Each structure stands twice: as C-alpha cells, then as structure tokens.
Amino acid sequence: MSAPAVDSSRERSSLLFLFRLIPPRADFAQTMTDAEQYAMCRAMAYWQELLAAGRVVVYGPVADPEGVWGLGVLRVADRAEALAI
C-alpha cells in the first residue's frame, strides 16, 4: 500500500516517530483469540485512517524469527502529538 501525498511544507516542519508494537506473546499472530483478532482489526483500521490522513509514513507487521511485531512510522508536529496517537 502506498501513502498519500504529503504537503511538502508540513513534511519539512514535522518529526518522524518510530513505534515498535510489541505483542503480548511471541506466537500472538498465530494464537490470537477472537477478542484479540477483533482488537487487531480495529487497530489496523485506525492506522489505515492515520495513513489516509497523511500522518503515517509506513506501518505493518515485521516477520521477525523471534516473533512477529508491528512497526509504525508517524509524521507529527511534536512528541505530544505522537503520544496522543
């Protein structure tokens, strides 16, 4: 998936924050309960909204041999905005 175009003036005045989203257990991706699957679907929908709004540079799973985890890179004005997300 590709990110939408970002206003170049916002890009110059923004910061990038990398989030490492650590699952509760190493085999989480393979053993999610129904409730966990629902929560993950909602989280992915939220990140998709952020992507559409131009606030996300990239996001998705990382296939680490030690266990899958999530990665997200946000484009924000400041640390407070990153923490609010």
Task: Give residue 26's pLDDT band: very low, low, confident or very high (50, 70, 90).
Answer: confident
Residue 12 counted as domain residue = yes
Indicate the pTM of the whole model.
Answer: 0.72
Tally of structural domains, the chain: 1
Task: Please give the pLDDT value at position 67.
Answer: 86
Task: Please give the pLDDT value at position 13.
Answer: 76
Q: Which domain holds residue 27?
A: 8-84
Residue 18 counted as domain residue = yes
Residue 16 counted as domain residue = yes
Residue 1 counted as domain residue = no
Residue 3 counted as domain residue = no
Residue 30 counted as domain residue = yes
- Give the tens place of pLDDT for each residue, 35-72: 999 999 999 999 999 999 999 999 999 999 988 999 99
Q: Which residue has the higher pLDDT, 67 or 81?
A: 81
Q: What DSSP assignment string belongs to 39-63?
A: HHHHHHHHHHHHHHTT-EEEEEEE-
